Amino acid sequence: MTNKGLLVILSGPSGAGKGTVIQSLLAQSKTIRLSVSATTRSPRPGETDGKEYYFISREKFSRMEQGGRMLESAEYCGNRYGTPAAPIEEWNSQGLDALLEIEVQGGALVKAKRPDSVGIFVLPPSLEILEQRLRNRGTEPDETVRKRLQAAKREIREAGNYDYVVVNDQVERAAGEICQIIRSEKLRTSRNKQLIERVLNK
């Protein structure tokens, strides 16, 4: 089995519970590292550089982008956001798996640049339950919930572009399925050409 780590792209609509699944995943697996995005926006109170984001200047962002050191990037509300390639490459070469939580447009950009990555889409059990979850947060007016639900539908229609789907009806089970996908993907023939050669030459 290959001892190179994987790049795992994790997407899913707001309310699908990606955050709690990721917490469970990091607790279950010793080989998974969570990718941290870079942004040009200023840190909010309580945010730490390298934890929520790498907070970098617009100049540095542009330099990294032009040097091919961003796996993807996007502009949002006048600020730039991107995925630094270096930590992912380093983890992968050490046999560690990089987990990238990202929305579907960004996920498509990363998949195009790294076809060897594994795309996993986290689904809610149903739109009804998704709506409940969004309402239970209790902080959003009806209009916002309605808009989020529409956005969720649009995102779920992109699930077909991912390699795997995992239904988050139970957090630990969903996280366990993702661990299983990662282990199984490492047995793919396409990742083990060298292993086959090694067997033939020993």
Q: What tokens does 84 get?
A: 């630094």
DSSP state of 11: E
101 binds a second copy (CB under 8 A): no
Single residue of 132, 144, 180, 194 touching a second copy by CB under 8 A: 180
Amino acid letter for position 190: S
Residue by residue, DSSP assigns 94-155 as TTPEEEEE--HHHHHHHHHH-TTSEEEEEEPS-HHHHHHHHHHT--S-HHHHHHHHHHHHHH
Least Å distance, CB 159 to a second copy, is 5
Interface stretch with a second copy, choices 45-53, 79-87, 91-99, 163-171 (CB under 8 A): 163-171
Give the list of residues 6+ apart from residue 81 with CB closer than 8 angstroms, or none.
Answer: 37, 38, 39, 40, 73, 74, 75
188 binds a second copy (CB under 8 A): yes
> Is residue 195 helix, strand or coil?
helix
Give me Rg for the CA atoms of the chain: 18
155 binds a second copy (CB under 8 A): no
Nearer to a second copy, 67 or 160 (CB): 160
Looking from the CA of 128 toward its CB, the CA atoms found within 13 Å total 0
The footprint of a second copy on residues 56-75 (CB under 8 A) is none
Single residue of 54, 74, 163, 171 touching a second copy by CB under 8 A: 163
The footprint of a second copy on residues 108-147 (CB under 8 A) is 121, 123-128
Nearer to a second copy, 63 or 198 (CB): 198
Least Å distance, CB 182 to a second copy, is 9
Least Å distance, CB 37 to a second copy, is 25
Q: What are phi and psi of 97, to 5 degrees?
A: -90, 135
Least Å distance, CB 192 to a second copy, is 5
Binding site for a second copy (CB under 8 A): 1, 121, 123-128, 153, 156-157, 159-167, 177, 180-181, 183-185, 187-189, 192-193, 195-196, 198-202
